[in-house]
Structure 1
Amino acid sequence: MKALLPLALAATLGALAIPAAHAEGNDSWVVRIGGTVVAPKSNNGTLAGARADVSSSTRPTIDLEYMITPNWGVDVLGASPFLHDVSLAGLGTVARTKELPPTFGINYHFMPNQAWSPFLGLGVNYTNFFGTHATGALYGNSVSIANSWGPAVRAGFDMKISEKWLATVDVRWAYIESDVKLNNTKIGTAKIDPIVFGASVGYRF
């Protein structure tokens, strides 16, 4: 999966470097506000010899997209911090962590002038873990989760409400795999690789 990161970076940076051949008119920007569920895959690796599981989390999100042309757009996804519990088989919840996962991407909108328009995207995700602390059986120990870079993909559709307003439903996948340390000693890698479900309302300007 890490081999996809240079491709995702090149696609995103290449789109940002395109000259100002943006869509005609004044509606080159779209801001979307909604909610997102980060649902880690099942079986999130092995930590200290035990199977790990990372809980899902739902938070409000904001997405800002700049339309280079009517079909091509570059976007950035932001959110309030997601909160996850980390559990180990036989021990229950042993840690909690917060994370911010800003994601940058380039999207192709297939039918931008129609009542509904599907789109596909490719981008880069950076996940910053912070506020990590031990609980339960590990309470009193130091736990840390490394930050993660990885590719991200996106699919969804826009539904036009009016000339300015739209509704968006999308699903993303992000490569998130991070080393976990207990008292500064690596105990394994958390393989989160979540499916991210989103629904939002957007405004063109």
Structure 2
Amino acid sequence: MKLQSLVLAAATALTMTTAFAVPAGTWSVGVGIAHIEPDSKNGSLGDIGIDHIDPDVRPTITGEYFVADNVGVELLGALPFHHDMVLNLPDSSQVEARTQHLPPTLSLQYHFDGYNLPMNVKPFVGVGLNYTTFFKERIYLGNGNDLDIKDSWGAAGHVGVDFKINTTDAVRVDARYIDLEPDVKLNGEKIGKAEINPWVYGLSYVKSF
């Protein structure tokens, strides 16, 4: 009787785990918003110090394909983020600058199921690669001065939780850390790296197919 009970309990647990799993071949698409918060310590560009880089909020879209049960490959896209910056000059004065960028990020993710979690709670973790391209850089230092922030590659970490509404729909809360330290040129001469290294906080609606 005890052996039968153990076999039945194990079979039930296995069935529950399989039921919660996201099967290989599943696609999901997420639409939401992201708040990007640059590091509060952004370093210096030679003799020019970075006082601060403002945060921004923009719409995002994600697509994820599950290559194995609970294992997905996700691509993050967004509308261009805008950042205003305040720079400290050697003479103790300040000057404003700004830029826009796109930060597509490719991540490999694992979605947890079972572990005595509520049926509608699905945490996940991921690690991946970010490519950020900068454009429309401006520095308000008088005519003839050209600011150039170079495109940057960096590692990215991702954690989040899906709160399932039903079998195909969920609300997602997530956070990413991006290693983002692009080279910066002023008038064609490299003056240092901008240590942006932002946290990106997201809220989105996710649908699986």
What is the TM-score of this pair, normalised by structure 2? 0.81
Moved more, 68-77 or 95-104: 68-77
5+ long unaligned stretches in structure 1 = 1-21
User: Are residue 126 (structure 1) and residue 131 (structure 2) matched?
Assistant: yes
In 2, Cα distance between equivalents of 1:175 and 1:51 = 20
Which structure would you say has the larger Rg? 2
CA displacement, residues 127-164 of structure 1 (integer Å, 9 cap, x when unaligned): 000111122x3554110001100100000111100122
Structure 2 counterparts to residues 53-132 of structure 1, below 5 A: 53-89=52-88, 90-111=92-113, 114-132=119-137
CA displacement, residues 93-149 of structure 1 (integer Å, 9 cap, x when unaligned): 4211000000000100111893111111000000000111122x3554110001100
**Equivalent position of 1:13 in the other structure:** none
Structure 2 counterparts to residues 173-184 of structure 1, below 5 A: 173-184=177-188
5+ long unaligned stretches in structure 2 = 1-21
Work out the number of aligned pairs and report it.
181
Q: Is the 8 A contact 1:47 1:88 kept in 2?
A: no
In 1, Cα distance between equivalents of 2:137 and 2:96 = 11
- Deviating above 3 A after TM superposition, structure 1's stretches of 4 or more consecutive aligned residues are 90-93, 137-140
Identical counterparts, % of pairs: 41
**Equivalent position of 2:40 in the other structure:** 42
Q: Given residue 203 of structure 1, which amino acid in structure 2 is its aligned partner?
A: K
What is the TM-score of this pair, normalised by structure 1? 0.83
RMSD: 1.8
In 2, Cα distance between equivalents of 1:31 and 1:92 = 43
